[in-house]
Structure 1
């Protein structure tokens, strides 16, 4: 796949928001309550960009086709887990992975996850924590495929989420 992965800039916010709106509608059509409560929103994306958490994926025509936030900070919702994290080491939190659903590209979300893992390794951090809704079949498949370990349940904005962690090897073995 010939894609570019880079930090999002404030100039990207409207396009990122359009992708997130697609994701919000997709989850709604699937009958999920995930992303149906006003989150995420443009202010969340602006905060991602201002803190250098936001990353976009562009195709060979420089069109933004995906977005993910990778946050190098403690996620308060992860402090209490019904279960156990694999480690309590420093970690990156992943949120808001979305891809273009109007012109879908098979394997793009997996490609994004591989690239974000490499970015995290480049920062010499070896742990990723992430959560998703129990009915987000696409993300659950990706976590399984990429060897993320189910650790338990966390509560995010009052709703239970399935929590996963992956320990990255220093050689980045996929």
Structure 2
């Protein structure tokens, strides 16, 4: 099954679907024994704020929302202090809150999402992509490695230490 995927800005009418996908992801993280996303974040207010600020994006498969993420340009205060070093000091896209609908789990959706994010970054003339994840988020760590992201160090975010990665795009 090779349905076309598209990345688009989330709209307020997408809010309930996005929140459902995030709740599925929160539960998956819990079942995996992870501490990530287990303290009431992200929540419905996070989704509403992402959409209002223009940060919320959805990847659709055949028109159906399959993945949610927040893409933030040049703004993640936690990234100004890193135990380690970023690869660059130029403009960057921050990737937060990646969540895949259960219906699309195990189909390589996150890798496709990162392909779209790289295209988005290039098309906006932005130098790099920065992303962080929990130490115990094995699936995301494997994806970042497979997509060529470089481990840069640790950042303190959302009440915990996160592994930080960067990929130079242009």
Q: TM-score, normalised by structure 1?
A: 0.92
What residue is the counterpart of 1:55 in the other structure? Answer: 57
What residue is the counterpart of 1:142 in the other structure? Answer: 143
Q: CA–CA distance in 1 between the matches of 2:60 and 2:75? A: 28
What residue is the counterpart of 1:172 in the other structure? Answer: none
Superposition deviation, residue 103 in structure 1: 4.2
Q: CA–CA distance in 2 between the matches of 1:85 and 1:114? A: 21
Alignment of 1:1-174 (within 5 A): 1=2, 2-60=4-62, 62-169=63-170
**Unaligned stretches of 5+ residues in structure 1:** 170-174
Deviations 1:105-132 (A, max 9, x none): 4111100000011011111102111100
Q: CA–CA distance in 1 between the matches of 2:52 and 2:141? A: 29
Secondary structure in 2 aligned to 1:38? coil
Task: Report the RMSD for the aligned CA atoms in angstroms.
Answer: 1.1
**Unaligned stretches of 5+ residues in structure 2:** none
Deviations 1:123-152 (A, max 9, x none): 110211110000111111111011100000
Q: CA–CA distance in 2 between the matches of 1:71 and 1:18? A: 22
Moved more, 114-123 or 17-26: 114-123
Q: TM-score, normalised by structure 2?
A: 0.95
Q: CA–CA distance in 1 between the matches of 2:93 and 2:146? A: 19
